[in-house]
Amino acid sequence: MAAEPTVQELRDLVAAYEPGKGHLLPALHRVQETYGYISRDAIDAVARQLNTTPALVYGTVTFYADFRTHQPPKTEIAWCSGPACRLAGGERIREALENTLELPLGGHSDDNRYGLHLGQCVGTCHESPQVWVNGEVKGNLTVADAIRLAREVKAAE
């Protein structure tokens, strides 16, 4: 992940996008893929480039679940919220993860070492119930497995 960008770097990053062409989401993806999240400065840069207001850009960023307004945590556990996982005990796994990490879904630790994310079903239901740790599937979990996993993540530097 790159270091904190300057305003000029952000403006340069989105310089190719144009107003009125459906470029808002692509510009925001570009920012997030480069820096991991969309900062207040990035919102200003995108708004300026696309001839719109920071309010509209902010409204868009916060409407979508997968745009982030803060740095992603070092380790992120994404809990699968899909129905097959639910039927296989996923809700009990959510309770266990939230209570072990002492975070709600969408939360991250104060030092941003770890966070808990609500993941959507992608149709790997043969692995249910599952979570993703930094994108990698951990499937066929028991609740106890999930607690041990969360404790490891919490204890890791």
The reply on whether position 123 binds other proteins by CB under 8 A is: yes
Burial group, residue 116, by CB count within 10 angstroms (0-12, 13-18, 19+): buried
Q: Out of 43, 45, 96, 153, name the contact with other proteins by CB under 8 A.
A: 96
Please report, as residue ranges, which positions from 138 to 157 form the binding site for other proteins (by CB under 8 A).
139, 142-144, 147-148, 150
The reply on whether position 22 binds other proteins by CB under 8 A is: yes
In the chain the first and final C-alpha atoms are separated, in Å, by: 18
Q: Which of 97, 99, 87, 83 is nearest to 131 (CA)?
A: 97
CA distance 148 to 121: 23
The reply on whether position 134 binds other proteins by CB under 8 A is: no
Residues in the chain: 157
66: which 2 tokens?
């997968």
The reply on whether position 113 binds other proteins by CB under 8 A is: no
The reply on whether position 89 binds other proteins by CB under 8 A is: yes
Q: Which residues bind other proteins (CB under 8 A)?
A: 20, 22-26, 28-29, 50, 52, 56, 59-60, 63-67, 81-84, 86-87, 89, 91-93, 95-96, 99-100, 119-128, 130, 137, 139, 142-144, 147-148, 150
